[in-house]
Chains A and B, each alone.
Chain A
Amino acid sequence: MEQTKKLELQKKATQIRLGVLKGVHAAASGHPGGSLSIADMMAYLYFEEMNIDPKNPKWEDRDRFVLSKGHCAPALYATLALKGYFDEAELATLRQADSFLQGHPDMKGTPGVDMTTGSLGLGISAACGMALSAKLSGKDYRTYTICGDGESQEGQVWEACMFAAHYKLDNLCVIFDWNGLQIDGPVAEVMNPTPYDKKLAAFGFHVISIDGHNLDEFEAALAEAKTVKGKPTAIIAKTVKGKGVSFMENQVGWHGSAPKDDQYEQAAAELSATL
């Protein structure tokens, strides 16, 4: 990837992280850890990869994105605001009673949200439905979804994987955010779903493993996914939960708690320093 393009995307990712913290801090509630772990991929998807138009969020030929790990809505909202779907000032209304930014994504209320999610395991299935619809209608849009590693403990995730392979949904790209932590502790200790690569390959996926914070690797994986015919692609992205904020990185406690004022200031300062 060209250096200026990479720097620009890294800047977007940092802005997304700042948006995440702004929302979660203002709400004094929400899920910063897993939102920060997907920020780099969200930046690439929305500013490089997907064929979308913020002026026409319901454009029927657009690429689709489903945040199956819906609790990371702050990352989706920050990305959508940065892309121009709505005013960035709205981020501070996250989780408020009069806001259109619900705790988990609501396709009815928020411009740019393609699917209502939040209950784990349901989003990946909906993404399968979108991909199937493209096949059925002869449309060439692609569908992307991000699942959590903890989320993969839901049986429905594997029902959906079976379905995607059975119907040869090569227009579907499932990204697993392998940040290694869930509410009760390390994913491997709570209920170990690994090995992801072997399991997903056995389920009929083309599997690519990457560092989810490395934009070159993500770019190459997405490009490779487009060349795969007859099967869906899974990108297993190893990430750091809380990435970008020193005291949040790899700390399970930041899965679902908001920073206090001083913590928010420190986090924002750390991130802003990289801009």
Chain B
Amino acid sequence: MAEKIATRESYGNALAELGEKYDFVVLDADLAAATKTGTFKKKFPERFFDCGIAEGNMISVAAGLATTGKVVFASSFAMFAAGRAFEQIRNSIGYPHLNVKIGATHAGLTVGEDGATHQCFEDLALMRTIPGMVVISPADDVEAKAAVEFAINHYGPVYMRFGRMAVPVVNGEDYKFEMGKGVNLRDGKDVTLVANGFMVHLALEAAEKLAEEGISARVVNIHTIKPIDKDIILDAAEKTGAIVTAEEHNIIGGLGSAVAEVLCEGCPVPMLRVGIEDKFGRSGKVQPLLDLYGLTVDNLVAKAKAAIALKK
């Protein structure tokens, strides 16, 4: 896990690489340098359109383009895509089920210094309530690029969440991305850590630590929050009897909630959630922020033990 790359870089690189193979259009709202759609723009300027700082218009323009048969990517920060333009995504794209892919970068706490107004912890909750929307939160470079290629080939709206911070690559080059299928990254019998985004690599580290203490933890990567892989979650619940979710999102509405929904209906077992505990973010360097909000290996280890203790 030596190599590190931000999934927003992966997004831009994937667009630029896949632009040779596929015909699609990319829109941005004055953040091409940050969302990395600029990488595509440099290579395919004739298929890139800056919409200026007008995210709502951008999303509805994307919808109009899609009605004519274009595959369209529209990008901004998660806050301004899923947040500011929620209603346009719902009504212009979701309701008519148009072929628009939303590449939302700078999701979560790892935005860092820009602080609460730019740190979106609500996007997964918002997006997964839209019927027909596929919602993906990739863990690393390999998965992010695979998700982009999936999105091009899938007819219908897709929301993809990318991060600002460079994160370790956890998947091998032979990794096959399957939409809606979770990935068992490590087997275990005492507890399962269910994670997505960059929290996947923290979950793997936490499993190592737990192993040192004689606790066997399974690690599952749920890169697709919607449609969610019920089978892999229920199997984890049946076999390990306790679940801890880990996400860079509000514990209300995101992965934690989605997993809880599956467990409550299929196999209720003790479950605890690691994530943003219904708070706004704040400015800071990334590591102090992660410590402050409990997005840490130590917190995952503690929650895993607590979940196991709840089994009886």
Closest to B100 in A: A129
Contact B61 A107 (CB under 8 A): no
Contact B97 A126 (CB under 8 A): no
Query: Given the interface contacts A116-B96, A119-B91, A125-B92, does A156 sit within 8 Å of B65 by beta carbon?
Result: no
- Residues 31-70 of B, flagged 1 when their CB comes within 8 A of A and 0 if not, give 0000000000000001101011010110111111111111
Contact B97 A129 (CB under 8 A): no
CB under 8 Å from chain A, chain B span 66-95: 66-70, 87-88, 91-92, 95
- Main SS of the interface on chain B? helix
- Shortest C-beta distance, A169 to chain B (Å), equals 11
Chain B, interface residues (CB within 8 Å), range: 20 to 34
Contact A125 B60 (CB under 8 A): yes
Closest to A128 in B: B61
Interface centre among A126, A127, A160 (most CB of B within 10 A): A126
Query: Given the interface contacts A122-B91, A125-B56, does A167 sit within 8 Å of B96 by beta carbon?
Result: no
- Shortest C-beta distance, B285 to chain A (Å), equals 35
CB under 8 Å from chain B, chain A span 139-171: 155-156, 159-160, 162-163, 166-167
Contact B52 A162 (CB under 8 A): yes
Query: Given the interface contacts A107-B96, A116-B96, A126-B92, does A159 sit within 8 Å of B67 by beta carbon?
Result: no
- Main SS of the interface on chain A? helix
Query: Given the interface contacts A121-B56, A163-B57, does A133 sit within 8 Å of B92 by beta carbon?
Result: no
- Shortest C-beta distance, B40 to chain A (Å), equals 15
Number of A-B contacts (CB under 8 A): 102
CA distance A131 to B49 in the complex (A): 13
Contact B52 A129 (CB under 8 A): no
- Residues 106-135 of A, flagged 1 when their CB comes within 8 A of B and 0 if not, give 111000001110110111011111111110
Contact B67 A108 (CB under 8 A): no
CB under 8 Å from chain A, chain B span 1-55: 25, 46-47, 49, 51-52, 54
- Shortest C-beta distance, A40 to chain B (Å), equals 26
CA distance A108 to B157 in the complex (A): 15
Contact B56 A107 (CB under 8 A): no
Number of A residues, CB within 8 Å of B? 34
Query: Given the interface contacts A108-B96, A119-B91, A167-B49, does A130 sit within 8 Å of B57 by beta carbon?
Result: no
Contact A132 B95 (CB under 8 A): no
Contact A163 B56 (CB under 8 A): no
Closest to B63 in A: A126
Contacts of B68 in A (CB 8 A): 60, 129-130, 133-134, 137
Contact A60 B69 (CB under 8 A): yes
- Shortest C-beta distance, B88 to chain A (Å), equals 6
Contact B95 A129 (CB under 8 A): no
Query: Given the interface contacts A116-B95, A122-B91, does A156 sit within 8 Å of B64 by beta carbon?
Result: no
Query: Given the interface contacts A108-B96, A159-B57, A163-B54, does A130 sit within 8 Å of B67 by beta carbon?
Result: yes
Q: Which of B65, B70, B88 contacts A122 (CB under 8 A)?
A: B88
- Residues 20-58 of A, flagged 1 when their CB comes within 8 A of B and 0 if not, give 000000000000000000000000000000000000000
Q: Which of B52, B61, B95, B96 contacts A125 (CB under 8 A)?
A: B61
Other A-B pairs beyond A125-B59, A126-B92, A163-B51, 11, CB < 8 Å: A106-B95, A115-B63, A122-B92, A125-B56, A125-B63, A126-B64, A128-B57, A129-B62, A132-B49, A132-B61, A160-B57
Q: Which residues of A contact B (CB under 8 A)?
A: 60, 64, 66, 106-108, 114-116, 118-119, 121-123, 125-134, 136-137, 155-156, 159-160, 162-163, 166-167
Q: Which residues of B contact A (CB under 8 A)?
A: 25, 46-47, 49, 51-52, 54, 56-57, 59-70, 87-88, 91-92, 95-97
A to B CB contacts below 8 Å, 28 in the list:
A64-B67, A66-B64, A106-B96, A108-B96, A115-B67, A122-B92, A125-B57, A125-B61, A126-B64, A126-B92, A127-B64, A128-B57, A129-B63, A129-B68, A130-B64, A130-B65, A132-B64, A136-B46, A136-B70, A137-B68, A156-B54, A156-B56, A156-B57, A156-B60, A160-B60, A160-B61, A162-B57, A163-B51
